[in-house]
Structure 1
């Protein structure tokens, strides 16, 4: 597509300007508490420049990756994924599946929350009662809908009973929504004394110092951590929406880490004297979603036609610089349930025109596409989609919103088309498919396209209770193929995370889930070089 060249050229032009976009590394900055500090990052604190602020500190309320990146370093789960995406016991010392309906967890002794409360079986039960209470309407409660009862057998033993066999339960327990919160903090939240949306009390290696909304989040080392203590005393996450500013800050040593580096700027970061490019394959997918409740996107033929009009190969090479792979469907090869036999929708602009004509849109139509204003790549995806669709007679206007407002709009169905992504943080097909495509999860629970298909619902429900992994994978493959053919989303790419990190940083773990594990981060001053 010829018009894509103007975006690639635009990216290259942006990189030329970056050398002049850095600020003085020795500049004095005023903190939110009126204190001052030098602009240079170093010593005993780890400083990140992130493109988006978090939405909430309550792990049971959030559905966005930025919020999970913070809460994961404050809170811990019974089980968590390691760097190889293998499940490991954390707040549970051990666990076993007693029978098809019963799971038993031995809770780690000697662990205290940041507020001094003790971790025990009752604390775990209280967390899951809060998560699963229908009156609370937690957005990720659907992940545990087959859990019938959680019981404290003794002071440090918890039993989960399910209504049916529930194969992905252990993987789901590693999700940030299943993080364990101090029971006293839960009481304070329920009483309105200290809301968990802006306060936090977990067991993690870092605890919350302050969240200055729209500006920064500060964490400090948990001096009473039950395991190996963090290597740095403080973590500061600065909200810096402008990519050029983030890159300049990394180059000048004001921060140790930056997120969301566009592929066209990857060379600049990798060529820095004291910093390097850091990439990570991910478990999720990028997509263009349709609101299937509104015309003309309530017609699968229209959705398929739009999908046929956009070349994901060009998106991958032109916008992502080849960092990743083209998405056939929502499941990547690193996710349980992935099938090599799945057939995607091929790029076919002439076929798209024919299908639109058959659907009654021979003369095209007008629509809008929504994206968040702090993600340049997604903005460019909207722009490229606009050009592609113009070629098949669809006039697409682009609207941009702040991240929180954007999520509200998609959750509430105030969209026609939108650009978004999904991180399959459990590495299991259930979490890629059930939240996004099960009809009972419309809106904030994940199904932002408001897709509804009874056959898909039945397959996903059966897969959840199937204990045989081969049979379960086959059910997911069937469901995924139907979803692809009905096209509630255009599955574009499984993109790599592209970030930048100072050479002085050691022990930084960027998981395939998108989460930053900061528990082992340290700063080697000899490598700083600033």
Structure 2
């Protein structure tokens, strides 16, 4: 859900765990700060760049999904389930690698001859799954959908400064800007850079990407079948253009298993071969299940945050937003909900997405962010000053896993402790994901939680969504100074200067507590004893990771 919620050596129930965390979060007595060490003082986990290379091809493997994709239309692929599948079927102009670097994809070259022009050389000899050859016409048609108000792309903001997208050669596309935009190109590693057959887009129309039509792209797997509520099956594409990433499995089947316990049991029995976003309360269990498979941790760009989705009600006053953040003992929350597999943060981005910015500039940006330390007394004082005692709000949540249940209950308990009155609205996993793409679904919802990932190594991607009127500015926050800083940063080519402007914008958003950062997570991945080869990295959202998987 733009919100992948991650969830002891023991299988405690969500209710019992919530009772434990209530005491930890609210009282905070005798709780040492959560870290990345285990009970023996050793490393809680180690990061991996890759997994052992496969030794053979396999006929198929099964992959667990916590929710069903909203759509396989790249214009609406805005969440973990959608992109976990789509990344293996459709490809973008550039690739996002496991170390979060970028390399050529369906575009072999990019030129920026002047501040308003981007010229892309399109790879030749690439075939769509129907056998037709990709040309510049397909690229123009695919990218242009983000400009079409009839399509209503969830990624339209990435194209905010695009004036025209034109074919300037059989294998050349030129994008002209209305103003300089040095963030646009970096976004093309993700859904904004996906290329689909122009003929398919025209033929499918509004049915494109749904369970009956599927997609017709260029990836190492082709769409085969979508059984609504059950599974999505992909078949190996034999004419894939890149021999180094030709799929090592003849088929991959994505199984929809919304119940976290069912997923973990399926991992242990071998019924399911693998999955991402492992519930935190199952990590120690799976680490000990060495005969069943292996648990890996890798690079991530996600931050678990509170989203104040209605700034016209209880959370209109910044003092109320700040008070709720101060009422949450984040270190205790990490320990209880995430079992220590996370790190406290005051930022809405990880440092891993500031790769082009000099380290000193990055450190300064993070150091100047205001903090909201755990302080119940001060939180109660702010609530009283704001005249918000007894104020009610609707807190949307879902039973994604134990960690999410614990987090939701802890936040609700913290709110009650400082005099607010939360009403918990529990939704199905699938419905919860729609909160991040459908304004109608957010009606009457004041607060929700997200694990917000960035789709590129550009921190402006995060702060751009908080501008006035942006698609993902869920609370409708508006700050002219912030807007000006972000919009100006887009026009700055130098990464250091752009980073400094981004840092100032980040500080403004933090001071107003537009979103409330709780902690950073890591990418988690389970590979059963039959399979190996995938990289444990957030890049799986936009890289054909399933093609790497073969037999051990």
The two structures have a TM-score, normalised by structure 1, of 0.87
- Tell me whether 1:358 sits opposite 2:364 in the alignment: no
The partner residue of 1:426 within 456, 472, 479 is: 456
Deviation at 1:446, TM superposition (A): 1.6
1:208 aligns with 2:223: yes
1:245 corresponds, among 262, 266, 282, to 262
Aligned residues: 486
| Alpha-carbon distance between aligned partners in 2 of 1:467 and 1:258, rounded to the nearest angstrom | 39
The equivalent of 1:278 in structure 2 is: 296
Correspondence for 2:112 among 83, 97, 110: 97
CA distance in 1, matches of 2:547, 2:457: 22
d(CA) in 1 for partners of 2:342 and 2:142?
Answer: 37
Answer yes or no: is the 8 Å Cα contact 1:291–1:298 preserved in 2.
Answer: no
2:194 corresponds to which residue? 179
Provide the secondary structure at the position in 1 that maps to 2:347.
coil
Q: 1:89 & 1:72 partners in 2: Cα distance?
A: 15
Matched, 1:438 2:455: no
Partners of 1:82 and 1:513 lie apart in 2 by: 6
Distance in 2, Cα, partners of 1:498 & 1:87: 21
SS of 1:340's partner is helix
2:209 aligned residue (168, 171, 196): 196
Q: What are the residue-to-residue correspondences of 1:25-36 with 2, within 5 Å?
A: none
Query: 502, 508, 529: which is aligned to 1:476?
Result: 502
**Counterpart of 2:41?**
none
Which residue does the alignment assign to 2:103?
88
1:88 aligned counterpart, secondary structure: strand
1:11 and 1:326, CA in 2 relative to 1: closer, same or farther beyond 3 A? farther
Whether contact under 8 Å (1:290, 1:489) holds in the other structure is: yes
Q: Distance in 2 between matches of 1:13 and 1:297?
A: 32
* RMSD between aligned residues: 2.2
SS of 1:231's equivalent in the other structure is coil
Q: Is the 8 A contact 1:44 1:523 kept in 2?
A: no
Deviations 1:365-423 (A, max 9, x none): 22221023334322221101112222211222322112342244453232111112211
Q: 1:73 aligns with which of 75, 78, 88?
A: 88
- Classify the secondary structure of the residue corresponding to 1:385: helix
Write the mapping of 1:74-473 to structure 2, written as runs, cut at 5 A: 74-190=89-205, 194-198=207-211, 199-228=214-243, 229-272=246-289, 273-336=291-354, 338=362, 339-341=365-367, 342-361=369-388, 363-409=389-435, 411-412=438-439, 413-414=442-443, 415-435=445-465, 437-441=466-470, 445-473=471-499
Which residue of structure 2 aligns with residue 37 of structure 1?
Answer: none
> 2:24 matched to which residue of 1?
none
TM-score when normalising by structure 2: 0.84
* Counterpart in the other structure of 1:519: 547
Instruction: Work out the CA distance in 1 between the residues paired with 2:509 and 2:399.
Output: 28
CA apart distance, 1:56: 0.3
Return the offset for 1:68.
0.9
Query: 2-side partners of 1:154 and 1:173: how far apart?
Result: 20
SS at match of 1:353: helix
Q: CA deviation at 1:321?
A: 1.7
Extract unaligned runs of 5+ from structure 1: 1-6, 17-41, 525-530
Query: In structure 2, how many angstroms separate the alpha carbons of the residues matched to 1:9 and 1:303?
Result: 35
CA distance in 1, matches of 2:280, 2:301: 19
Matched residues in 2 for 1:172 and 1:309: separation? 36
The 8 Å contact of residues 116 and 176 in structure 2, kept in 1 or not, is answered as yes
Q: 1:26 matched to which residue of 2?
A: none
- Report if aligned partners of 1:77, 1:176 keep a CA contact under 8 Å in 2: yes
Distance in 2 (CA, whole Å) between partners of 1:408 and 1:65 is: 12
* Preserved CA contact (<8 Å) 1:61 1:177: no
> C-alpha deviations, 1:213-234, integer Å up to 9, x for none?
1111100000111112211000
Q: Does the Cα contact within 8 Å between 2:9 and 2:282 map onto a contact in 1? A: no
* Kept after mapping to 1: 8 A contact 2:95/2:189: yes
Instruction: Give how far 1:514 is off.
Output: 5.3
What's 1:34 paired with? none
Pair 1:440–1:368, CA change in 2 (3 A)? closer
User: Any gaps of 5 or more consecutive residues in structure 2?
Assistant: 1-6, 17-56
| Structure 1, 407-416 or 63-72: larger mean CA deviation | 407-416
Measured after TM superposition, the shift of residue 505 of structure 1 is 1.8
2: CA distance between counterparts of 1:368 and 1:208?
Answer: 39
Contact 1:52/1:403 (CA < 8 Å) preserved in 2? yes
Instruction: Report SS of the residue matched to 1:200.
Output: coil
Q: Are residue 490 (structure 1) and residue 490 (structure 2) matched?
A: no
Indicate the SS of the match to 2:547: coil
Q: Secondary structure at the match of 1:492?
A: strand
Q: For residue 511 of structure 1, report the CA deviation from its aligned partner.
A: 2.4
Cα distance between partner residues in 2 of 1:220 and 1:468: 43
Per-residue CA distance 1:27-64 (angstroms, 9 max, x = gap)? xxxxxxxxxxxxxxx94212111211111010111211
Deviation sequence 1:103-143 (CA, Å, 0-9, x none):
11111111111122221111111112222123322111111
1:44 aligns with 2:44: no
Q: Partners of 1:51 and 1:420 in 2: how far apart?
A: 15
SS of residue paired to 2:366: coil
